[in-house]
Amino acid sequence: MTAKIISGTEIRKQILEEIAAEVKEIKEKHGVIPGLVTILVGENPASISYVTLKIKTANSLGFHEVQDSQSPDISEEDLLALIDKYNNDDSIHGILVQLPLPKHIDEKKVLNAIDPDKDVDGFHPVNVGRLMIGGDEVKFPPCTPAGIQEMIVRTGVETSGAEVVVVGRSNIVGKPIANMMLQKGPGANSTVTIVHTRTKDLAAHCKRADILIVAAGVPGLVKPEWIKPGACVIDVGVNRVGEKPSAKDPGRMVAILRGDVDFDAAKEIAGSITPVPGGVGPMTITMLMKNTLRALKMSAGIA
């Protein structure tokens, strides 16, 4: 059997079209548009490229977009003051502080300073708590887990009563996606197991999974024989394993990316599987846009 390939690039396109249509309708009916500020501290090349993509996507959707680049030497106090400014700016509905921050700044303190109702990353403890409670309490599901859930649902995979095994326990992916899949409601109602570096028999757990979500950051960790025939496999790993000349511009080197799952072998066993790249990756920024639209709707009282 060859698995259905779950294309994040395709699903992103559908969701962005839905967001653009909603933005247009809200603008016409209510005269407001979503406002997103991206705060970038320093010149980390990966952060610059993520932020550039976020800005480009926000612009393409007709958002009010503010790009705030700060020197790597900005003091923690000044960064907190900047966040306070955007917390009080009515044209801004979502605040994104690109991580990582320079070492002299306490990341936790900065994230906790963002108004929870503008925390479109879903990293503030209030939003983490809301996610755990579930249902109507949830305001901003964190973007990567939200993207994973959308992919599972839009692929038509049954989640109710499914055995979901999550490999990895990070605050950004493992813990929140496990929490989301066990909630009552559509796209969830699963029986969830989280496994991690101290788990005794990783393979035995993975073999039980109807839906296997892997966010370990270890290239090729999951072997094909660990996959239950017909399972849905979501590979969150984006590991740089080398460089190659760019297909478009052979003079330029680009990263060779590999997931946490041995894709070529796994696709012969799984029922559906995400590729790397082109799987979960494109979904994160998409869900950031969805959260920003949600923040606008919350602030404007639009159902």
Residue numbers at the binding site for ligand GUN (CB under 6 A): 50, 96-99, 121, 143, 284
In the complex, least distance from residue 182 CB atom to ligand GUN, rounded to whole angstroms: 22
Active-site choice (98, 149, 210, 262): 98
In the complex, least distance from residue 222 CB atom to ligand GUN, rounded to whole angstroms: 22
In the complex, least distance from residue 46 CB atom to ligand GUN, rounded to whole angstroms: 8
In the complex, least distance from residue 231 CB atom to ligand GUN, rounded to whole angstroms: 26
What is the rounded (10 degree) CA torsion for 115, 120, 125, 131?
130
70 is known as an active-site residue: no
In the complex, least distance from residue 281 CB atom to ligand GUN, rounded to whole angstroms: 11
98 is known as an active-site residue: yes
Active-site choice (119, 121, 210, 235): 121
Which C-beta is closer to ligand GUN: that of 124 or that of 267? 124
Which C-beta is closer to ligand GUN: that of 176 or that of 271? 176
In the complex, least distance from residue 120 CB atom to ligand GUN, rounded to whole angstroms: 9
3-class SS string, the chain: CCCEECCHHHHHHHHHHHHHHHHHHHHHHHCCCCEEEEEEECCCHHHHHHHHHHHHHHHHCCCEEEEEEECCCCCHHHHHHHHHHHHCCCCCCEEEECCCCCCCCCHHHHHHHCCHHHCCCCCCHHHHHHHHHCHHHCCCCCHHHHHHHHHHHHCCCCCCCCEEEEECCCCCCHHHHHHHHHCCCCCCCCEEEEECCCCCCHHHHHHCCCEEEECCCCCCCECHHHCCCCCEEEECCCEEEEEEECCCCCCCEEEEEECCECHHHHCCCCCEECCCCCCCHHHHHHHHHHHHHHHHHHHHCCC
Which C-beta is closer to ligand GUN: that of 170 or that of 189? 170
Which C-beta is closer to ligand GUN: that of 266 or that of 287? 287
Which C-beta is closer to ligand GUN: that of 130 or that of 205? 130
Active-site choice (13, 24, 27, 54): 54
Task: Return d(Cα 98, Cα 91) in angstroms, integer.
Answer: 20
Which C-beta is closer to ligand GUN: that of 53 or that of 300? 53
Q: Closest-CB residue for ligand GUN?
A: 99
Which C-beta is closer to ligand GUN: that of 140 or that of 226? 140
Residues 258 and 241: beta-carbon distance below 8 Å: yes
In the complex, least distance from residue 165 CB atom to ligand GUN, rounded to whole angstroms: 23
121 is known as an active-site residue: yes
Question: Is residue 217 packed enough to be buried (19+ CB in 10 Å), middle (13-18) or exposed (0-12)?
Answer: middle
55-to-35, 68, 129, 207, 232 alpha-carbon distances in Å: 11, 11, 28, 40, 32
Active site residues: 54, 98, 121
